[in-house]
Amino acid sequence: MIASTTTFSPKSRQKLIATLYKLVPEQLEQLILILNPPAGIIPPLPASQGTRASAVVSWAESPSGRGLLQVQEALEIILEINFEDLE
């Protein structure tokens, strides 16, 4: 799969990353299941929440990743929020 070419501003990127870091472990696991990265990309528990969230971002931005836009869309599904409302 080709990564999304959507560019996030530094502020939007920071908000997205901060939101990932604040997820409870079950929500991050749900996000990972929705995005379905290849096995072995995201460290399993008991890796820290920050380590796992950073791995999601790194994978999403990689050539094989889905892009940050899809991470944001998955977060909106899980949290039932619209990031545009946070601007």
The total number of structural domains that make up the chain: 1
Confirm whether 39 is domain-assigned: yes
Confirm whether 1 is domain-assigned: no
d(CA 46, CA 64): 25
Tokens encoding 66: 């889905």
Q: What is the dihedral of CA 49, 84, 74, 15, to 10 degrees?
A: -20
Confirm whether 61 is domain-assigned: yes
Contact in structure between 10 and 61 (CB atoms under 8 Å): no
Residue 31: CB partners within 8 Å, gap ≥ 6? 20, 23, 56, 71, 74, 75, 78
Confirm whether 80 is domain-assigned: yes
Q: Is the pTM of this model over 0.75?
A: yes
Confirm whether 3 is domain-assigned: no
pLDDT tens, 19-43? 999 999 999 999 999 999 999 999 9
What's the pLDDT score for residue 8? Answer: 87
Domain containing 31 equals 10-86
Confirm whether 77 is domain-assigned: yes
